[in-house]
């Protein structure tokens, strides 16, 4: 399932933290999204919990974000 979301509050984190398997080898790299940025994303988990998990279809980065920091456009 794909969505388009807008970042409503600046958000940053580390790539790899959204991968659910602790043994998954992944080089940690920081990412940042500015307020107002619109992303087309693949939805991995946006049903519940304090973190929603998406893949940014432009960059291919999988990231997690609190639902209060974005709004769904489509």
Q: Which residue has the higher pLDDT, 30 or 9?
A: 9
**Domain total in the chain:** 1
Domain of 45? 2-72
- Distances in whole angstroms, Cα of residue 74 to Cα of each of 14, 28, 33, 58, 68: 26, 30, 19, 16, 17
CB neighbour list of residue 5: distance below 8 Å, 6 or more residues apart: 38, 39, 41, 54, 70, 71, 72, 73
The pLDDT value recorded for residue 26 is 58
pTM: 0.84
Residues 19-42 pLDDT 10s: 765 555 555 678 899 999 999 999
State the chain's mean pLDDT as an integer.
Answer: 88
The domain that holds 50 is classified in CATH as: 2.30.30
Residues 43-50: what's their mean pLDDT? 91
């Amino acid at each position: 399932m794909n969505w388009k979301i807008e970042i409503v509050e600046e958000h940053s984190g580390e790539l790899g933290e959204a991968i659910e398997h602790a043994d998954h080898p992944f080089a940690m790299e920081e990412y940042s999204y500015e307020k107002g940025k619109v992303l087309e994303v693949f939805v991995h988990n946006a049903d519940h919990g304090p973190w929603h998990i998406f893949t940014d279809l432009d960059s291919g980065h999988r990231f997690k974000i609190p639902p209060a920091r974005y709004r769904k456009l489509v």
